[in-house]
Chains A and B, each alone.
Chain A
């Protein structure tokens, strides 16, 4: 079976008044039906990776090198009609802010139907009945009435459900979810997460779930890839990451979590801020914030260790730890 996703040595720069090296030599692969959490803080390149996957970045300002394949299709070479067919058909996206990602002057039913008509070439009436079916599947109560509502007439959680219905209407093989719960209330967040998990099982598609919340990542995904400064610093199954994080950055993220913290105790925040990425990193990007950094870290890019298949860590300190086990 072909891999669902195969990204090889993806490097991406934004040109402009100042150049930003947004993604630096990222390789990532996913099997069919897998759920991957892309974990990292703001500006680590998570969202940019998703947008590159859909070819949504402004072509004039973006320089892309490397290869992105989805089900064997070379995404970066797509254009025109083929790109339109791929977007929303093969791969679709749920955005962070459903209030902004839906067109305010069309009914939600129309917006779902529009996509179905485009991809499946069916009549408006058939597309509307698909839209109704999708609203039912994302558990929107009295879907028949909601179909003719405008986005501003729905609550935030409802809008995100619509967004998910829209993304899944054409049965994509891969769903990209860009912090889909960040803009929602905590209680609604859980509902949306559970819904996504159920729908993933129901439809069997692969999901990339971008988040900065390690708790969310654990909840939803089988695998986790941790991004920092446009690079993947650690990857593994969710339990591997939770139980034996090797990279100091991942360890820092885990330590900064609210779980098992005594009341009144200070959280272990990671000191400092991520680098600005105006130059291409030529040493470990995390070294300035790392408690274990040595001269070696600041001299060259860290080597990537693969302790087991589909498990990797980009840190010089990782090897002795593996040897000791």
Chain B
């Protein structure tokens, strides 16, 4: 098992290299010159060239990449062009906030999704099943930024129960586990949870429904197992696949919450990313994308290893 883990870990290295190259290239391909965003309109050609040299943008691309990666492994992700602050500082602050939001959404979404999916799969082709299916299709189909705005109108504007903006009182950037901060988390987390509820419910429904029709379920009943025992067997059989879907969902929650973070002014990576795009803040953009992509890679690694631990049919050697 341990050797399997290390083998998978080694396989991650080329993937991480590829990710870093793509991150670097994407930004080069994107149209627009970062300098035009920060230089005064009437800057002379000499002034532009000086600025270019200061940021190392005058060197050939492979050299730029080598410098970037060299700094990266030393923990230096460059300075934001827009704010002048270190990218690492900006990104990690934002990623922490996003991670908090994504984890909260996952904590809401996964148990509900699993429960609904199991219900629907167990009571297949009943009214309950159809209700769950309708619910999950709605959850997946409704644009979640729209849902976010609707929730804001209901709970913030009309009822005044929950705040609609930021991660803490008065636009506070630092998080604390008290009600004043948690209040701010509820609406965005619930909004973000809707899509994964639908996806997890549908996945688990299909898995449970399929496993329940397999012969071994009847064999379990035939040897005197109770309904609870049988459900435990079904859960273990479904776990590997369900886990991989949930791992991917967690990745999407982390990187794909740009719209939600914008709607709720949540100071997370998505928020940072959209700012970086509009300001053509290359180092910040690269750094944010890279960190998010590496999270995805790490998530996949964890899922793979967990799957192998659960399902003996997945080769561990």
Our pick among B229, B236, B240, B312 for the contact of A114 (Cβ within 8 Å) is: B229
Q: Is A103 an interface residue (CB 8 A)?
A: yes
Report the Cα distance A118→B232, complex, angstroms: 14
Q: Shortest beta-carbon distance, B92 to chain A, in Å?
A: 39
Q: Is B310 an interface residue (CB 8 A)?
A: yes
Type the 1/0 row for B226-244, where 1 means its CB is closer than 8 Å to any CB of A: 1001000100110010000
Q: Shortest beta-carbon distance, B61 to chain A, in Å?
A: 49
Assess whether A86 is in contact with B224, with CB atoms less than 8 Å apart: yes
Q: Is A124 an interface residue (CB 8 A)?
A: no
Q: Is A85 an interface residue (CB 8 A)?
A: yes
Total number of A residues with any Cβ neighbor in B under 8 Å? 29
Q: Shortest beta-carbon distance, B154 to chain A, in Å?
A: 41
How many Cβ-Cβ contacts under 8 Å join chain A to chain B? Answer: 77
Type the 1/0 row for A127-150, where 1 means its CB is closer than 8 Å to any CB of B: 000000000000000000000001
Q: Shortest beta-carbon distance, A308 to chain B, in Å?
A: 35
- Given the known interface contacts A106-B233, A150-B312, the answer about A100 and B214 at a Cβ–Cβ threshold of 8 Å is yes
Cβ contacts under 8 Å, A118 to chain B: 223-226, 229
Q: Is B221 an interface residue (CB 8 A)?
A: yes
Q: Which of A85, A86, A106, A119 has the most CB of B within 10 A?
A: A106
Q: Shortest beta-carbon distance, A287 to chain B, in Å?
A: 35
Our pick among B216, B223, B310, B312 for the contact of A115 (Cβ within 8 Å) is: B223
Report the Cα distance A150→B220, complex, angstroms: 16
Assess whether A102 is in contact with B226, with CB atoms less than 8 Å apart: no
Assess whether B233 is in contact with A166, with CB atoms less than 8 Å apart: no
Report the Cα distance A152→B314, complex, angstroms: 11
Q: Shortest beta-carbon distance, A247 to chain B, in Å?
A: 31
Report the Cα distance A54→B222, complex, angstroms: 7
Q: Shortest beta-carbon distance, A266 to chain B, in Å?
A: 37
Which residue of chain A has its CB nearest to the CB of B312?
A150
Q: Is A105 an interface residue (CB 8 A)?
A: yes
Report the Cα distance A268→B225, complex, angstroms: 46
Cβ contacts under 8 Å, B141 to chain A: none
Tell me whether chain B's interface is mostly helix, strand or loop, or mixed.
Answer: helix
Residues of chain B in range 234-287 having any CB-CB distance to chain A below 8 Å: 236-237, 240
Cβ contacts under 8 Å, B215 to chain A: 95, 97, 100-101
Which residue of chain B has its CB nearest to the CB of A118?
B224
Our pick among B214, B222, B237, B310 for the contact of A56 (Cβ within 8 Å) is: B222
Assess whether A101 is in contact with B219, with CB atoms less than 8 Å apart: yes
Q: Shortest beta-carbon distance, A193 to chain B, in Å?
A: 21
Report the Cα distance A118→B216, complex, angstroms: 17
Q: Is B48 an interface residue (CB 8 A)?
A: no
Assess whether A152 is in contact with B224, with CB atoms less than 8 Å apart: no
- Given the known interface contacts A95-B215, A150-B312, A150-B313, the answer about A103 and B233 at a Cβ–Cβ threshold of 8 Å is yes
Type the 1/0 row for B188-226, where 1 means its CB is closer than 8 Å to any CB of A: 000000000000000000000000001110111111111
Report the Cα distance A39→B240, complex, angstroms: 42
In the complex, the 6 A-B pairs of residues with the closest C-beta atoms, listed nearest first = A88-B224, A88-B223, A100-B215, A101-B219, A87-B224, A150-B312
Q: 22 A–B contact pairs at CB < 8 A?
A: A84-B224, A87-B223, A88-B222, A88-B223, A93-B222, A95-B218, A100-B214, A100-B215, A101-B215, A101-B218, A102-B216, A103-B233, A104-B313, A105-B236, A105-B313, A106-B233, A114-B223, A115-B223, A118-B226, A118-B229, A152-B313, A170-B224
* Beyond known contacts A56-B221, A152-B313: 7 more, CB 8 A cutoff: A84-B224, A100-B214, A103-B233, A104-B312, A105-B233, A105-B311, A106-B236
